[in-house]
Amino acid sequence: MIYSAGLITSILPLIAARVTEDASLAGRTTYPFNNLIAYGDELSDNGNGSFAHGITGDPANVYGFGTWTNGPVAVSYLSDLLRVPLTDYAFGGCCGGGDFGATFDNAYTKSKAGATDMIGQVANYTGRGAPGIRSSLQFLWFGENDLSMHTDAFWLGDPKNAQFATDAAVKITAQVQNLIDKGAPYVMVANIYPKHLAPVTPKYLCGTNADCVKTWGQVIQQANSAIQKSLEQFGKKVIYYDAFSFMIQILANPKAYGFPKPLNLFCDGDETAQWTDCMIDGHANEYFWMNFIQPTTAGHKLIAQDMKKTIDTHFA
């Protein structure tokens, strides 16, 4: 069972983000912020993006939650863990193929799904006067869709790999600077996750070529290093989250993290997908991968817990 976005004839206009909040949570935080503002792609879309814009295909609610996984995404769990309300501008798309979600910049990597890019998401918030920015934690997680379009997984020395690392750092840094200039006290930036180990890679890129997988991982690490180095200029205003390393830990020993199913199996995507076991029989959270690029909600929950640890360490 494969879901894809319908034909999009134009980029959908920017709209205000859906706000997921519990008034009882505000004010019960021990952090120097009282709300969470998120921007991103399908890894962070809580239903405000593709579902709200009606481009998720059939069924419209994707897997039943409006997200591109079988439940909440990491930033939603993080909001709960921090006990602060979430405003989510992230905009997803399906699932490892051409209809991917948000990118750094649609002029750089166009989202065929019609997703609002990083620049547009931030502009949508700041253009409304950036409500609550001085008491917020801003959250950005982008790059995995741009990665696939601008890098060479077969030759590490390809100049476009170094160029992508530079581009990623420059584009993310520009939006962090923009938010800080508008008054954001803290911006959390999650780096590019280990897409070379996602099911999309053997299916559509590397096949059985282990060197390709290894090289693409190195390409991602180069980009992440460039992003981290560029963000150092902001000091304590930026919280850098190493999604790449934490997910590598999980994938190196999935059973220890609660995922007994083999990593080459996933719930949705092609004729090998374990749809019945996952979604009919209710075993989805025994798998790490929901589809070609997306963790199950159990994976997202672990990532959120690790994000909170990073935040706690930052403010210790």
3, pLDDT greater than 90: no
**So what's the pLDDT on residue 10?**
30
**So what's the pLDDT on residue 96?**
62
β 86-88/18-20 pair status = antiparallel
For the record, the structure tokens of 33 come out as 């912020």
Lowest mean pLDDT of 90-104, 126-140, 219-233, name the range. Answer: 90-104
Characterise 54 by phi-psi region: left (phi > 0), alpha (psi -120 to 50), beta (else). left
**So what's the pLDDT on residue 157?**
98
For the record, the structure tokens of 74 come out as 């990491």
- pLDDT tens-place string over residues 184-227: 999 999 999 999 999 999 999 999 999 999 999 999 999 999 99
- pLDDT tens-place string over residues 34-65: 999 999 999 999 998 888 888 887 778 889 99
**So what's the pLDDT on residue 30?**
85
CATH H superfamily, domain 29-255+296-314 = SGNH hydrolase (3.40.50.1110)
**So what's the pLDDT on residue 55?**
81
**So what's the pLDDT on residue 17?**
52
**So what's the pLDDT on residue 1?**
43
Mean pLDDT, rounded, for 97-115: 91
